Amino acid sequence: MNSSNKRIVIVGGGTAGWITANLMATHWGDKGFDITLVESPDIGIIGVGEGSTPPLKGFMDTVGITESQWMPECNATYKVGITFRDWSVKPGFTQYVHPFLCQPDQFTAPAFFHNSFLRRKGVELEGHPDHFFLTTELIRQKLAPLTPANFPFEINYGYHFDSGLLGQYLARHAAGKGVKHRLATISDVVLDGQGNIDFLLTEKGEKIKGDLYVDSTGFKGQLIQQALKVPFISFAESLFNDSAVVFPTTPDEEIAPHTVSTALKYGWAWRIPLTNRTGNGYVYSSGFVDADTAETEFRQHLGLLDSDVEARRLKFKVGRVAQHWVKNCLAVGLSQGFIEPLEATALDMVQETVVRFIEAYNQGAGSDQHRDDFNHRISTRFDAIRDYIVCHYRISSRTDTEYWRACGSNEKISLSLRSILMSWMAGNNITDELEKQKLDAYFPNVSWNCLLAGKGIYPDPSQLKPGSELAHRYKIEGIQNFIRGCALNFRPHKEVLHGQTNR
Ligand SMILES: Cc1cc2nc3c(=O)[nH]c(=O)nc-3n(C[C@H](O)[C@H](O)[C@H](O)COP(=O)(O)OP(=O)(O)OC[C@H]3O[C@@H](n4cnc5c(N)ncnc54)[C@H](O)[C@@H]3O)c2cc1C
């Protein structure tokens, strides 16, 4: 940014808009920039999105918000991973945890890689990821991922939170950093002769003029898609889900620090523990089931068939825009794309987009080269996340409905994902292939291994042979002792959350 380029107008007051406002105000606020967030008083936010990945902690640290400040206000809890239930029908593999890796795992992950690799070669070894990672033990014992100062390892974690309250918290924080908040509905986006956004027009006929515009208007992408006509690349042929039904239930007595994702007949249901309630949602494909049947199945799953609590129904589209930064407009949040909430990656994409944009702008002041590199980088990340999510469905061994049979036989997957699956099935180490295909741009090697091993993508147990002593060099008991020893350093999740509330 230079001195003649100082007005930033963010359109949209959902989580994406407020994360953008906080990051831009933190990085550029003292350089004389004028940042305004415009939010419609009539168009609501999407109001879901209650799970994060670990980088959200980095965001909070960057903008100067501590856990004791924001967590109690947003009914937040800690999250160390996601437990996947009933995605596989293979005996012994009907459940596994996708862990957020932490430092102590460096001592146990080699054993997982070793066992998993040899099991694929036909050796009878324990290859289920749940035996090898500290995270699984924290979930089992319902412990918070905070350690005493003398514990010499770092622990990685994310959060669960009320997304509406988080948006409000971030709005207050942004105001403290000088961000102006304006309530108005944008009815027109007016372009200049070069195709840049010249100004915005509100429903009341007021002009809002900026030098840079951020589109955080949600799925419709009013600036990037509607006004600037940037094409939307749909992921619908490899990801079938397009609908959700959402339903809160009472809070858990003991709070385990994980999201639970349970596969149902036409999709999957999330269970997210907050301090004041449990968030539940069923993500499904309207191509395979109607909304009423899906809601009935979901209520049945929750044991609340007769409850008169009203459920919320939502539609969404999966895919991304062809470019995220075009002319003087940056798209952030649902306006730039959405994959689906299975691994709760959306806010992470928001954060990455804004941080990389600030970096690119600082370096190149908006040069074409910097813009192209930025767009390529963000799209690569989107596509890498998509492939990981598609893999969940493609390798599921469920065949109980047309939906799962279609997922399991879907050939419309990327060549990159196809090459990873072929490499795994051939019994190879997939590390090099992931790197070659740039599929480790988001989920690391260990996540891919957990996904494939956790769903039991191994030779049939009847084909496994005992193997040499060398093959059995890692003893599960020793690994479990180490993990349980580490877990002694952690306190009950509920106790830690209670302490925050009473601070
Ligand atoms: C079913 C489901 C589950 C999800 N779960 C997760 C999850 O677990 N984790 C995760 O990270 N993400 C999740 N997400 C994604 C997450 O909800 C979003 O990424 C996040 O809420 C950000 O949304 P947003 O700010 O882009 O859009 P929205 O929340 O839709 O906000 C749009 C804003 O734009 C404003 N606006 C719109 N039009 C105008 C206009 N004309 N003039 C002025 N203002 C306007 C609105 O008033 C609103 O403030 C989920 C999404 C879905 C659909």
From ligand 1's centre to the CA of 15, what distance in Å? 6
Helix, strand, coil fractions of the chain, as percent rounded to 5: 40, 20, 40
- Rg of the chain over all Cα atoms, to the nearest angstrom: 23
Residue 343 in marked binding region: yes
- Residue 324 phi/psi, 5-degree rounding, is -95, -25
Mean pLDDT of 122-148: 97
Does residue 435 or residue 5 have the better pLDDT?
435
Q: CA–CA distance from 441 to each of 61, 76, 124, 382, 460 (Å)?
A: 23, 28, 32, 9, 31
Q: Give the 3-state secondary structure of residue 234.
A: strand
**Residue 3 above 50 pLDDT?**
no
Strand intervals (E) in 174-266: 180-183, 186-191, 197-202, 207-208, 212-215, 232-234, 243-246, 259-264
What's the DSSP call for residue 332? -
Residue 79 in marked binding region: yes
> How sure is the predictor about 138, in pLDDT bands with cuts at 50, 70 and 90?
very high
Look at residue 430 in the predicted model and tell me its pLDDT.
93
Q: CA–CA distance from 355 to each of 24, 121, 348 (Å)?
A: 9, 43, 11
| Sign of torsion over alpha carbons 200, 202, 208, 211 | negative
**Residue 219 above 60 pLDDT?**
yes
pLDDT by residue (tens digit) across 307-366? 888 899 999 999 999 999 999 999 999 999 999 999 999 999 999 999 999 999 888 766
Please identify which residue in the block is written with the tokens 């600037």: 228
117: its two tokens: 């690799």
Rounded-to-integer distance, Cα 326 and Cα 227, Å: 11
The residues pairing with 244 across neighbouring beta strands, listed in sequence order, are 283, 314
Q: Could you tell which of 334, 339, 353 is best to mutate to test the pocket of ligand 1, judged by most ligand atoms within 8 Å of the CB? A: 334
Cβ burial of 7 (10 Å; 0-12, 13-18, 19+) is middle
Look at residue 368 in the predicted model and tell me its pLDDT.
85
> How sure is the predictor about 501, in pLDDT bands with cuts at 50, 70 and 90?
confident
What's the DSSP call for residue 92? T
218: its two tokens: 């949600």
pLDDT by residue (tens digit) across 51-87? 999 999 999 999 999 999 999 999 999 999 999 999 9
Residue 125 in marked binding region: no
Q: What percent of the chain has pLDDT over 70?
A: 98
Tell which atom from ligand 1 comes closest to the C-alpha of 216: 26
Long-range contact pairs involving 304-307 (C-beta distance under 8 Å, separation at least 24): 304/247, 304/249
Tell which atom from ligand 1 comes closest to the C-alpha of 316: 53
User: Which DSSP string corresponds to 301-315?
Assistant: HHT-TT--PPPEEEE
- 344 closest CA partner among 86, 81, 89: 81
Residue 17 in marked binding region: no
Q: Give the helix/strand (H/E) hosting 272.
A: strand 267-273
Look at residue 503 in the predicted model and tell me its pLDDT.
62
From ligand 1's centre to the CA of 416, what distance in Å? 30
416: its two tokens: 């990159």
- 186 closest CA partner among 311, 37, 302, 379: 37
**Residue 440 above 90 pLDDT?**
no
HSE-CB of 322 using CA atoms within 13 angstroms: 7
From ligand 1's centre to the CA of 419, what distance in Å? 34
Q: Could you tell which of 19, 22, 42, 43 is best to mutate to test the pocket of ligand 1, judged by most ligand atoms within 8 Å of the CB? A: 43
Q: Count each helix (H run) and each strand (E run) in the chain, helices first.
A: 15, 21
**Residue 422 above 60 pLDDT?**
yes
Tell which atom from ligand 1 comes closest to the C-alpha of 39: 44
Mean pLDDT of 91-104: 97
Indicate which residue's Cα is closest to atom 7 of ligand 1: 49
Rounded-to-integer distance, Cα 379 and Cα 392, Å: 20
**Residue 300 above 70 pLDDT?**
yes
Binding pocket residue ranges, ligand 1, CB within 6 Å:
11-17, 38-40, 43, 45-46, 48-52, 163, 185-186, 216-218, 222, 244, 281, 283, 314, 316, 333-334, 341, 344, 346-347
Q: Are 245 and 294 in contact (CB under 8 A)?
A: yes
**Residue 211 above 80 pLDDT?**
yes
Average pLDDT of the chain is 95
Tell which atom from ligand 1 comes closest to the C-alpha of 259: 8
**Residue 153 above 90 pLDDT?**
yes
Tell which atom from ligand 1 comes closest to the C-alpha of 346: 11
**Residue 476 above 70 pLDDT?**
yes
Indicate which residue's Cα is closest to atom 1 of ligand 1: 244
Q: Are 226 and 23 in contact (CB under 8 A)?
A: no
From ligand 1's centre to the CA of 395, what distance in Å? 30
Residue 330 amino acid letter:
L
Q: Could you tell which of 10, 45, 245 is best to mutate to test the pocket of ligand 1, judged by most ligand atoms within 8 Å of the CB? A: 45
Least confidently predicted of 37-41, 110-114, 356-360, 470-474 = 470-474
Look at residue 31 in the predicted model and tell me its pLDDT.
87
Catalytic positions: 79
pLDDT by residue (tens digit) across 19-38? 999 999 999 988 889 999 99
Look at residue 20 in the predicted model and tell me its pLDDT.
98
**Residue 441 above 80 pLDDT?**
no
pLDDT by residue (tens digit) across 252-293? 889 999 999 999 999 999 999 999 999 999 999 999 999 999
From ligand 1's centre to the CA of 423, what distance in Å? 37
**Residue 2 above 70 pLDDT?**
no
Residue 334 in marked binding region: yes
Cβ burial of 308 (10 Å; 0-12, 13-18, 19+) is exposed
From ligand 1's centre to the CA of 14, what distance in Å? 5
From ligand 1's centre to the CA of 12, what distance in Å? 9
Residue 191 in marked binding region: no
Rounded-to-integer distance, Cα 49 and Cα 160, Å: 9
Indicate which residue's Cα is closest to atom 33 of ligand 1: 12
Tell which atom from ligand 1 comes closest to the C-alpha of 246: 1
Residue 15 in marked binding region: yes
431: its two tokens: 């590390």
Indicate which residue's Cα is closest to atom 17 of ligand 1: 49
From ligand 1's centre to the CA of 181, what distance in Å? 18
